[in-house]
Amino acid sequence: AALDDLIEYMTVDGVRVGVYDATNSTQDRRNYIISTLGKAGIHCKKLFIESICDSQKILDENIRKVKLGTLDYRDCDPEEAVKDFMERRERYKEVYAEVSDADGSYLKIINSRKFIANNIRGYLPLKIVHFIMNLHTLPRTIYLSRHGQSEYNLLGKIGGDSGLSKAGLEYARRLATFCKNEICVEKNIDESTGEEQKNEVPARLWTSTLRRTKETAQFIENGTLTHKWDNGEVAEWLQMRPRQRRNLDELYAGGCDGLTYKEIEQQFPDEFNRRQKDKLAYRYPRGESYMDVILRLEPLAHEMERTREPILIIGHQGIHRIIYAYFMGLSREEAPYVSIPLNTVIQLKPHAYGCDEKRVCLMDKTEMFGDGQDEPVTSMPVSNPEYAKDDPVMNAPSC
């Protein structure tokens, strides 16, 4: 049934990649897949991806952190679940045949450390290989924060390169405290005393090249930390060293940069209406669209996947909408409407079957200011039932 669904999906106009997730552990099964796709008229490149793990340590971690959280074992006793999984694994080993040259193009992943690529050609297959080589199974946390309130926010203007307002500077100070107490530490409970222990851990800091994000990061401490890595190497780590990434700059509004939405509606009514109809693909005159932003964020997405340390990204509303949608599994069409309020840190914890989210407001409601970028309500795709009025993400309050 799953293979039939894949074939149906691959016949949809515009589809470029289909993923068939199954064990496919025998040569006969893999031959059947290729044959079935051919008979269905699906003439595309086929790439087998095989994950091999012979490290008991990695297996134990995978079972404990990943497999026990799947639908198969969610309500089972942990010991019984582990026993059942290991029995399944032994049964597969009896018939298992490694992917070989006879299967054509393949990528072997061995203990997430070694990669073997065979006969892989073409733009998309090579992009897939590059993406997979940046993945890992270790837990990590990504923190998203918009810059503090800027002078342009106060005036209701979009774009520009203004500095922070008084309220924005206050948020920057509170964000620095949050980094010190939450992002740069690992919290554990001492089993003997029951007390919480905090250990400093390496953490990363990225900002855009625009003034308002750099000013938001100015109070974050940048001390030196001695850290021992997984391979046993001991090295000095510059904690929260700010790295300015041009890819993180806000969506460029081109000829509308520095205007309010009301001014855009009055001066460029045709442009205003075009944006209302298709916010995702609309490109400002001599500016950018959300589709353009998606393309320039792709290299950073790979880098975020590769990163193992906690990372704080101080960016902008449009940029964080795309990053948030990427990790939360939202479609491109949904991304431009995600609520990314000021004065709020969004904590994302990706895992094998999704991503956990937590939002922390660092300024209470009496201190909150509007972000000056309230968009016309009619730009929301109200005709789409996916965007329900009570949706906590699409219509999240500021705090």
Query: What whole-number distance in Å separates Cα of residue 112 and Cα of residue 62?
Result: 12
Rg value, the chain, Cα: 24
Residues 122 and 185 in one domain: no
Query: What whole-number distance in Å separates Cα of residue 34 and Cα of residue 46?
Result: 8
Residues 123 and 157 in one domain: no
Domain count, the chain: 2
Candidate from 107-116, 263-272, 351-360, 379-388 with smallest mean pLDDT: 379-388
Determine the average pLDDT of the residues in 184-205: 85
What's the token pair of residue 145?
Answer: 């924060």
Q: Following DSSP, what letter does each residue of 16-38 receive, concatenated?
A: ------S---SHHHHHHHHHHHH
Residues 167 and 296 in one domain: yes
pLDDT of residue 187: 83
pLDDT of residue 70: 67
Q: Is residue 280 part of a domain?
A: yes
Residues 234 and 350 in one domain: yes
Q: Is residue 399 part of a domain?
A: no
Beta-strand runs (E) in 229-320: 234-238, 242-244, 311-315
Determine the average pLDDT of the residues in 224-230: 82
3-state secondary structure of 57: helix
| Pick from 96, 217, 100: nearest CA to 147 | 217
Residues 166 and 275 in one domain: yes
Residue 352 is part of a domain; what is its CATH number? 3.40.50.1240
Q: How far, in whole angstroms, is CA 373 from its chain's centroid?
A: 24
What is the 8-class DSSP label of residue 335? G
pLDDT of residue 384: 43
pLDDT of residue 387: 42
Q: Is residue 396 part of a domain?
A: no
Q: Is residue 137 part of a domain?
A: no
The last residue of a domain, from among 80, 108, 132: 132
Candidate from 190-194, 212-216, 321-325 with smallest mean pLDDT: 190-194
The last residue of a domain, from among 132, 158, 182: 132
Q: Is 250 a catalytic residue?
A: yes
Q: Is residue 328 part of a domain?
A: yes
Domain containing residue 216: 142-379
Residues 119 and 33 in one domain: yes
Q: Which of 53, 76, 355, 361 is catalytic?
A: 53
Query: What whole-number distance in Å separates Cα of residue 133 and Cα of residue 148?
Result: 35
| Pick from 7, 27, 26, 29: nearest CA to 18 | 7
Query: What whole-number distance in Å separates Cα of residue 50 and Cα of residue 60?
Result: 19
Residue 120 is part of a domain; what is its CATH number? 3.40.50.300
Q: Is 147 a catalytic residue?
A: yes
Query: What whole-number distance in Å separates Cα of residue 294 and Cα of residue 336?
Result: 11
Beta-strand runs (E) in 290-388: 311-315, 344-351, 354-361
pLDDT surpasses 80 at 113:
yes
pLDDT surpasses 60 at 372:
no
Condensed to tens digits (0 to 9), the pLDDT of residues 125-145 reads 999 999 999 998 888 999 999
Residues 48 and 100 in one domain: yes
Residues 7 and 74 in one domain: yes
What's the token pair of residue 239?
Answer: 């904690």
Place 54 in a pLDDT band, splitting at 50, 70 and 90: confident
Q: Which of 182, 215, 249, 250 is catalytic?
A: 250
pLDDT of residue 327: 97
| Pick from 334, 338, 332, 305: nearest CA to 320 | 338
Q: Which of 147, 249, 316, 371 is catalytic?
A: 147
Q: Is residue 388 part of a domain?
A: no
Query: What whole-number distance in Å separates Cα of residue 102 and Cα of residue 106?
Result: 10
CA angle 202, 206, 210 (to 5 degrees): 155
Q: Is residue 385 part of a domain?
A: no
Residues 290 and 201 in one domain: yes
pLDDT surpasses 90 at 318:
yes
Q: Is residue 94 part of a domain?
A: yes
Measured distance between the N- and C-terminal CA atoms of the chain, rounded to whole angstroms: 44
Q: Which of 13, 21, 75, 87 is catalytic?
A: 21
Are 139 and 69 in contact by the 8 Å Cβ rule? The answer is: no
Query: What whole-number distance in Å separates Cα of residue 131 and Cα of residue 284?
Result: 30
- Between residues 278 and 191, which one has the greater pLDDT? 278
Place 398 in a pLDDT band, splitting at 50, 70 and 90: very low
pLDDT surpasses 70 at 379:
no
Residues 38 and 15 in one domain: yes
Residues 265 and 361 in one domain: yes
What is the 8-class DSSP label of residue 378? G
Residues 55 and 184 in one domain: no
Are 387 and 394 in contact by the 8 Å Cβ rule? The answer is: yes
The last residue of a domain, from among 111, 132, 153: 132
Please tell me whether the overall predicted TM-score, pTM, comes out greater than 0.85 for this model: yes
- Ramachandran angles phi, psi of 161, nearest 5°: -140, 50
pLDDT surpasses 90 at 392:
no
